[in-house]
Structure 1
Amino acid sequence: MRLYTTSRKWFTVVSLIVCPVLLVINAPFGRFAQTGKSIFIFDGKKSWIVMEIVSPVLFTYSFLTSPLSCGEPVSLQPSIYQYILAGAYLVHYANRALVSPLRTPSRSKSHAIVTLAGISFNVLNGSLIGTYLSSPAACAYLSAPRPSFYIGLSLWALGFAGNVIHDEILLDIRRKTKSKPDGKTAQSEHYAIPYGLLYKYISYPNYFCEWFEWFGFALAASPAPFDSAFIGSAMSVILSPSALLAFLRAPSSFFAPRFTPPWIFLLNEIVLMLPRAYKGHLWYKEKFGESYPKERKVIVPFLW
């Protein structure tokens, strides 16, 4: 339990710290990948598969071993709703870790720091969600159907489909580049202005749909992450340096008990992907200039 609560707290805190850093620097992968040769620059496809496959593997291990159920007087068996959510998680990562990278004709190289950071993130995230989803708390919450489960699962399915479809638009751009008669494979030719569906409104609909997907998952898997008392204490921590220091020093067992791993995953996705989307939006505008649609927002349709 101590390892679980400590991981839950610091996984959240570190992501919040990294967020402003990513507004200043560009993580060296994708359109911001470094060029040239180095022992620290890896093949894009292989490094992506390695760092992403960690999550479903550790999720499955944690879900099956159910570490938080140790010592329970009665052996708890997961309900059908827990298995459905486990299946949803694994479907997402089967696509993310295997199907998508194996279907893409090319992927920009990735720096070792990105691969190591991705592995670290997925070790924690897969382990935490698998541990939570098999825990006594999840067994109790998911022992009977709730409206929030069906609503959340529907949102998950809609977000997953949107994520795959918008990623497919990007993959088509790479396929067309790869199939050019002259056979050019320069990095700059991997990128063009994507069009269609939510690309009419935002630069990163694949990110937006993924947030939507994991919001649905969290809604189905867990109670609301906070109440009015939590919001008040969170504001005091943000506004007071002494309160912030006390929060960081406090035992991890006191950290936001209702803020379960599915909600932590959603928060971490938002704070880590938002800077990437903003920097990528600026990159699109700089690269394509007047050709880039002026009405497109960054990641939230009509708003930002």
Structure 2
Amino acid sequence: MALIQNWLPPSRENWELICWIWQFFPLVTTAQWLIDWYPQGKTSNDSRLNLPGKWAWATMEAPGFLTLLYIMFALPKEQGIVELPWGNWTMAGLFTIHYIYRALLAPLVLNPSMSPIHPLVWLLAVCFQLMNSISIGGWLAGYGPTTVYDWAGRLYIMEIGLVVWGWGLLANIYHDDDLREIRRAADRKQRREAEKSGKPPEKVDKVYMMPKNGLFQYVLYAHYFCEWIEWAGFWMVGGWNCTPARSFLLNEIATMLPRALQGRRWYVEKFGKDKVGNRKAVIPGLL
């Protein structure tokens, strides 16, 4: 049963339209190169409209994998496809694993705190997730490969892509946890001081320090870089002609690169140029 006729799941015509439009998303991100206003995370500001960080993050990221899974089960029925090949489900699994971690485990279980998020950021993120998941989901659920023969002869490159994806995910989690430890350490300190003074502990959602482990020795946004590696591996699994996977990677870079450059300026302003040193924003030795 379609949730929205011809859109969820999408008809081929609408899916092709979404994929075509989605390739131009980097044009939308040009605003990030012109202004530093980005009310989320380190650069969040006080606003009566702000949403609680943890639940805002979860609800703006989760629609992606939920939509993709819905399309994976609904579209084949409309197309008369009895069974999707294992390669399709492998890619759907990679996407889902990432976002179960990113959308649910990270904000709701692992992160000790998160800065508030402005509703505009929340809305744009939801739109990103829906466009991306419809693009990838349509390709995986009927408009891309539909038989095992479509994956024939690609096992070797798929294995390499899976390894790249796996190491990218693990490195992403490692560097995320290094950032979490900053908050956890601050929270432990606040609780010890609160026990001594008898006062309630202060919040740590706006506590920031210079990360220093792993690739953070060379860049300030190592977790971004690792996520790009992860989705480059995803694209390899789908094949160089998998336009939705390619668009996903390029759109992530277009969104996150100006954010990282802006974040480096924030680090220099807060901690000083000497302390930041030669560390780049996101790509070791380059940017």
Return the TM-score normalized by structure 2.
0.86
Q: Deviations over 1:217-275 (max 9, x none)?
A: 011013x24xxxxxxxxxxxxxxxxxxxxxxxxxxxxxxxxx62111100100001000
Partner residue in 2 for 1:244: none
Match of 1:19 in 2: 29
- 2:269 counterpart (278, 286, 293): 286
Could you list the runs of 5+ residues in structure 1 that have no partner in the other structure? 226-258
Determine whether 1:98 maps to 2:118. Answer: no
Q: Separation in 2 of the partners of 1:122 and 1:207?
A: 17
Name 2:209's counterpart in structure 1: 192
Matches of 1:107 and 1:208, distance apart in 2? 21
Q: CA deviation at 1:70?
A: 4.2
Output the amino acid matched with 1:162.
A
Find the counterpart in structure 2 of residue 7 from structure 1. 18
Q: CA deviation at 1:19?
A: 2.2
Distance, in Å, in 2 between the alignment partners of 1:150 and 1:186 is 42
Mapped contact 1:133–1:221 kept (Cα < 8 A): no
Percent sequence identity over aligned pairs: 31
The answer to which structure, 1 or 2, has the higher relative contact order (CA under 8 A, 6+ apart) is 1
Decide whether the 8 Å contact of 1:138 with 1:221 is kept in 2: no
Query: 2:225, 2:282 within 8 Å by CA — same for their partners in 1?
Result: yes
C-alpha change, 1:138 and 1:293, in structure 2 (3 Å) is same
- For 1:135 and 1:123, the matched residues in 2 are separated by 18
**What are the superposed Cα offsets for residues 138-165 of structure 1, whole Å, 9 maximum, x if unpaired?**
2353256422211111100010001110
User: Residues 188-227 of structure 1: CA distance to partner in whole angstroms, max 9, x if unpaired?
Assistant: 4x210001110111111100000000010011013x24xx
Q: Which range moves more in the overlay, 94-103 or 133-142?
A: 133-142
Runs of 4 or more consecutive aligned structure 1 residues displaced over 3 Å after TM superposition: 69-72
Count residues in correspondence.
Answer: 263
| 1:76-107 per-position Cα deviation (integer Å, ceiling 9, x unaligned) | 52222222221111110000011100221110
Query: What RMSD in Å do the two structures reach over aligned CA positions?
Result: 1.8
1:6 Cα deviation (Å)? 1.1
Distance 2:280 2:79 in 1: 51
Residue 40 of structure 2 is aligned to residue 29 of structure 1: yes
Cα offset, 1:176, TM superposition: 1.1
**AA aligned opposite 2:70:** Y
**What's 2:64 paired with?**
55
Partner of 1:231: none
Deviation at 1:137, TM superposition (A): 2.7
Contact 2:186–2:204 (8 Å) recurs in 1: no
What pairs up with 1:104-143 in 2 under 5 angstroms? 104-140=111-147, 141-143=150-152
Q: Contact 1:76–1:136 (CA<8 Å) still a contact in 2?
A: no
Q: Write the distance in 1 (CA, Å) between the matches of 2:174 and 2:130.
A: 27
Conserved 8 A contact 2:42-2:115 = yes
Q: Indicate if the aligned counterparts of 1:81 and 1:143 stay in contact, CA closer than 8 A.
A: no
Q: 1:156 maps to which residue? A: 165
Which blocks of at least 5 consecutive residues in structure 2 are unaligned?
Answer: 1-11, 194-200
User: Which amino acid in 1 is paired with 2:43?
Assistant: F
Look up the match of 2:281: 298
Output the TM-score relative to the length of structure 1: 0.81
3-state DSSP of counterpart to 2:276: coil
**Once the 2 structures are TM-superposed, how far is the Cα of residue 128 of structure 1 from its aligned partner?**
1.6
Instruction: Give the Cα–Cα distance (whole angstroms) in 2 for the partners of residues 23 and 64 of structure 1.
Output: 39
- Residue 209 of structure 2 aligns to which amino acid in structure 1? A
